[in-house]
Structure 1
Amino acid sequence: MKNLKLYIFLMAVLPWLSLPLLGKQTFRKFLPGTLFMGIYLMFEGRLAEKRKWWWFPFKIKPNVLGELPLIWGPFFIGSFWIMKYTYKKFNLYLLVNILIDSLFTYYVLDFFKKFGYVSLVRLSKFQLSIVFLIKTFVLYGFQVFYDKVFRGHSDTTHQ
């Protein structure tokens, strides 16, 4: 697809336009968790590349993960939005993540594959769903840990 680079660029940049709507307090509160997840996803991407879980034929540059626009665009900014509205409401957090991750896995991924951005190789869609579920727990767990250890909030029932 000749416009793939433009679409990838827009996918990476457009979510950032919503950042001012989050508010400074939300940004500061969840920045450590979202940064942690971004770095986690980069390591996961390297592992996935080596184990051929998925393949990004789209390359930004040689030796640069093709999923960087996804990681630092919709995944990064989306994590702020999800945490803003669901943090300390774990059941809602889990439900929202399962819904969004399922939409991505079972619909958006097919769209991306059609346009030559990414395809699964040694991972089924169900296995990818499990990978997403693990990340869901990692992000929430990191945020709870961060709040307790660095913010001194031992009570996780209030904001």
Structure 2
Amino acid sequence: MGKLFLMDRRLHMKKLKVAKALLPAMMVLSWFTIPLLGKKAIKRFLPASILMALVVWLEGKLARKRNWWWYYVKIHPKLSGGFPLIWGPFLIGSIWILHFTFGKFKWYLLLNLVVDTIFTYKLVDILNNLGIASLVRLKKYQLSILFFVKSILLYGFQKIRENIER
């Protein structure tokens, strides 16, 4: 019984090391793609993407309060577990998606559906298996609905911004 516990503990510690390295890596790698966008695209799409990242950060506070999902690993004690995902792949991914599809709403929805489905039905399981995060009171289909609403908000923010600048 003692050997089994020790092996289980070692496996847990190994997963924790991977998790602690994976989150900052995801964030940093996302930011490395920024120069590929060009200044024009960054200037055009960054404000709406930052606004949406702030909405997602607030959503994370609500999610924690209502136990929709839970993060078990943080990159820093004072940062939420979702910080690297929000300010890395979500923020930068939003800019990329807007860059490729803004003005083509059907393509925008389709690309968001694909990306959000991969996150919801594949990456959530990976995060859970690594002990990084898990859904608690929220079902995967509900998370998909949340993603859809956020994608509409992002497109709307960008549309409003461009209408104001005309």
TM bucket normalised to smaller: over 0.9
CA contact (8 A) 2:20 2:74 kept: no
- Residue 52 (structure 1) shift: 0.5
1:89 maps to 104
- 1:118 counterpart = 2:133: yes
The one of 140, 149, 152 aligned to 1:134: 149
2:94 maps to 79
CA distance in 1: counterparts of 2:75 and 2:32, whole angstroms: 22
CA distance in 2: counterparts of 1:137 and 1:145, whole angstroms: 12
- Residue 3 (structure 1) shift: 2.3
How does 1:18-97 map onto structure 2 within 5 Å?
18-97=33-112
CA distance in 1: counterparts of 2:75 and 2:21, whole angstroms: 12
CA distance in 1: counterparts of 2:75 and 2:60, whole angstroms: 14
CA RMSD of aligned residues (A): 0.9
Moved over 6 A (4+): none
Residue identity over aligned pairs, in percent, reads 46
CA distance in 2: counterparts of 1:75 and 1:97, whole angstroms: 11
CA distance in 2: counterparts of 1:126 and 1:3, whole angstroms: 28
Deviations along 1:27-79, one digit per CA (max 9) or x if unpaired, are 00001101101111110000000011000011233452100100011111111
Deviations along 1:101-140, one digit per CA (max 9) or x if unpaired, are 0000001110010001110001000000000000000000
1:146 maps to 161
2:6 maps to none
1:157 maps to none
CA contact (8 A) 2:24 2:75 kept: no
Query: Normalized per residue, which structure has more helix?
Result: 2
- Identify unmatched segments of 5+ residues in structure 1: 153-159
Letter in 2 for 1:129: S
- Identify unmatched segments of 5+ residues in structure 2: 1-14
Where 2:162 maps in the other structure, the secondary structure is helix
Q: Pick the structure with greater CA Rg.
A: 2
Letter in 2 for 1:67: G
Kindly tell me the number of residue pairs found equivalent between the two proteins: 151
Where 2:150 maps in the other structure, the secondary structure is helix
CA distance in 2: counterparts of 1:133 and 1:25, whole angstroms: 27
CA distance in 2: counterparts of 1:4 and 1:49, whole angstroms: 20
The TM-score with structure 1 as length reference comes to 0.92
- 1:101 counterpart = 2:119: no
